[in-house]
Amino acid sequence: MAIRYLRRYEDRDRMNHWFIALMFVLAGLSGLAFFHPSLYFFSALFGGGVWARILHPFFGVIMVAAFAVLFLRLWRENVFTPADREWVEHSADMLRGNKAAMPPVGKYNAGQKGVFWLMAGCLAVLLVTGITFWQPWFANSFPILLRRLAVVLHAASAVGLILGVTMHVYAAIWVKGTIRAMTRGTVTEGWARQNHPLWHREMTGKQ
Amino acid sequence: MSSLQSLDIAKRSATTTPSAQARKSVAEVAKLIDVSSCIGCKACQVACMQWNDLRDDVGEAHGTYDNPRDLTPQSWTVMRYSEVEVEKDRLEWLIRKDGCMHCEDPGCLKSCPAPGAIVKYTNGIVDFISEHCVGCGNCVTGCPFDVPRLSKVDNKAYKCSLCSDRVGVGLEPACAKACPTGAIRFGTKEDMLDYGSERVTDLKERGYANAGVYDPPGVGGTHVVYVLQHADKPELYHGLPADPKISPLVSLWKGVAKPLAVAAMVGAAVAGFFHYMKVGPVEAKEDADDKATDPTDA
C-alpha cells in the first residue's frame, strides 16, 4: 500500500522557520561569546569580539521579526485547552516511550505548545532588554540600574530560549518522521495517526 | 593603555584561571585627594589632558564652575563643585576631583566579557586595555561610581589609568605632579592612609568633627582615597556614594549563575543524547492494521 502524505506546513512557513533557525544560530553563537569566558572563542566565527558585538543585535532583531510572522500564523493553534492538562499529567509516560498511555492530541501537543510560548516569551524579553543596552544606538537613553537588570534578564531569557530550542530539536530527532514536516512540508499519514490523531482525523475525516 | 609586564597583572577580565603570582612583594599604591586642601584650580585636569594627549570638545557654560560638565572619553578627571550648608548659614564650597577610584574589587572588571580588556595590576591600578575592548558598555553598568565612558568615535571605553605608564617607571600621576597645593598625593597605599589620618586629626582640631578618610570597604577599598571634611556624609560631595558596592545584579550573574547556566545548557544536550540511547526513537507505523510489533517496543 502506498504511503499517503498530509500537508503540515506551507512552503512560506517552512522557509521562515529555517530563516529563524539560521538567525538563532548566528545570534546564539555571537551572544554566547559574551555569556561566559569559556565560550568567548565563538567570537572568532564573526571576525573577533568587536564584530560579534556589532553583529549580535542585528541577528537578534532579524530573528525576532521573522519569528513574529511565524507567531501570527501559528499562535491560535498553540492556545492551551483543558485537554492539554491530561497530556501534561502523562508526560512522564511519553518520556519513557510509552506512547500508548498518551491521550490523543490535535495539531500540537502540550509540550509543543509549551515550547512555542517559551520561545515567544524569551524572544520578547530578549528584544526589549537588548534594546536598553544596545551600544552605541540606544543604551545611553536608559538609566544604569535598568541596564544592569536588563543584562541579567537578557542572559536569563537567552538560556531559556536555548533550552527551549534544545527540546524542540531533540523532539524532532526523537520522533521519527517529524523532520520532513519542515524539510518537505508533509508528514506521513501513519505519523499523524500515531502522534497527532485528532489532527489526523481533522485532515482525513477518518477515524 | 599598553600593558605592563604580565607578571604585574593581578586580575584579568573574563578569565577563569589565576594570573601569574610569582611576584609577591609589589607595594600597593594609592592616590590621596585631600578635598580640604583643594582650591579648584583644575591644574590636575589640564595635566591629565596633557600627559594623556586628550582634548575634549569645547562645552557650554551652564552657570557653575563644573567644566567639562561630566566625565567623557576625553576627560578622565573633572572637578565637581558643590555648594552646601552643613550648618545653617555657613556656606561651604566642596570641590571634589572625580575620576576612577581604582577599586580593589573592580565592578568594571567583573562585568567585562572580553578577556583581558580590563586588568588590575598588582600595585592596585585598574586599567583598560583598549585593543581588547569590544565596546559593549558592560563596564559602564558594572561601575559603582559611574566612571567609564564609551567613546562615540571608536566605541572603546575610557577612564583614568592612574597614569599607569608613569607609575610603571617610578613617576607619580600627572595630576599629582601638577597640583599646586599638595591636595593630590601619591605613594604606597599605607603611606597615603597614614598621611590621610594626619590630615583628619588636623581637620578635627579645626572643628570638622566628622572628618575622615574615604576608602570604601564595600569594594574592598580603593586606590584613590579622599580626605573629606564630612566623611559621615559623602553624598554632599556631588553624590559620592556612602557605601559603594558591586551591584548584586552584576555579582550574582557574573558569580554563580553563569557557570550554572552553562551547565544547564550543556546538560540539556547530554540528557537528550542519553535519553535517545535509553528509550530509542518514536517510530510511526504506516499501516494501522499491521499488528507485527517490535518485541522491545514498550
pLDDT in tens, A34-80: 999 999 999 999 999 999 999 999 999 999 999 999 999 999 999 99
At residue B292, the pLDDT reads 40
**Whether A168 is catalytic:** yes
Q: For residue B221, give the amino acid letter.
A: G
Length of chain A: 207
Query: Which one is predicted more confidently, B287 or B251?
Result: B251
Nearest to A31, CA basis, from A62, A7, A6, A54: A54
Is the CB of B281 inside 8 Å of chain A's CB atoms? yes
At residue A87, the pLDDT reads 92
Q: B279, A175: Cβ pair inside 8 Å?
A: no
- The Cα of B197 is separated from the nearest Cα of chain A by a number of Å equal to 34
Query: Which one is predicted more confidently, B292 or B223?
Result: B223
Length of chain B: 298
Q: Considering the entire predicted model, what is its pTM?
A: 0.90
Site from B136, B138, B278, B279 to mutate, A interface, most A CB atoms within 10 angstroms: B136
The residues of chain A scoring below 70 in pLDDT are 1, 207
CA-atom Rg of chain B in angstroms: 26
Q: Which of B150, B264, B268 sits opposite A136 (nearest CB)?
A: B150
B188-207 tens-digit pLDDT: 999 999 999 999 999 999 99
The answer on pLDDT for B293 being more than 70 is no
- Does the complex come out with an ipTM higher than 0.90? no
- The Cα of B134 is separated from the nearest Cα of chain A by a number of Å equal to 4
| Residue position matching grid coordinates 537578557 | A154
At residue B4, the pLDDT reads 52
At residue A100, the pLDDT reads 81
At residue A11, the pLDDT reads 96
B97, B44 in Cβ contact below 8 A?
yes
Distances B145 to B81, B161, B229, B238 between C-alpha atoms, Å: 17, 15, 20, 11
Q: A95, B275: Cβ pair inside 8 Å?
A: yes
B162, B100 in Cβ contact below 8 A?
yes
Cα–Cα dist B204/B206, whole Å: 5
Angle at B46 between CA B55 and CA B168, to 5 degrees: 95
How high is the mean pLDDT of chain B? Answer: 92
How many Cβ contacts (< 8 angstroms) between chains A and B?
139
B248-286 tens-digit pLDDT: 999 888 888 889 999 999 999 999 999 999 999 998 877
Comparing alpha-carbon positions, the chain B residue that sits nearest to A170 is: B272
At residue A157, the pLDDT reads 97
Domain coordinates in residue numbering, chain A? 5-204
β-sheet with B184-188: strand ranges across: B184-188, B29-34, B224-228, B212-214
- The Cα of A105 is separated from the nearest Cα of chain B by a number of Å equal to 15
Cα–Cα dist B210/A86, whole Å: 69
Is the CB of B134 inside 8 Å of chain A's CB atoms? yes
- Give the class (CATH, top level) of A5-204: mainly alpha
- Select which of A154, A168, A196, A200 is catalytic: A168
Nearest to B282, CA basis, from A138, A72, A195, A16: A195
Q: A49, B285: Cβ pair inside 8 Å?
A: no
Q: B275, A170: Cβ pair inside 8 Å?
A: yes
The answer on pLDDT for B295 being more than 50 is no
The answer on pLDDT for B290 being more than 50 is no
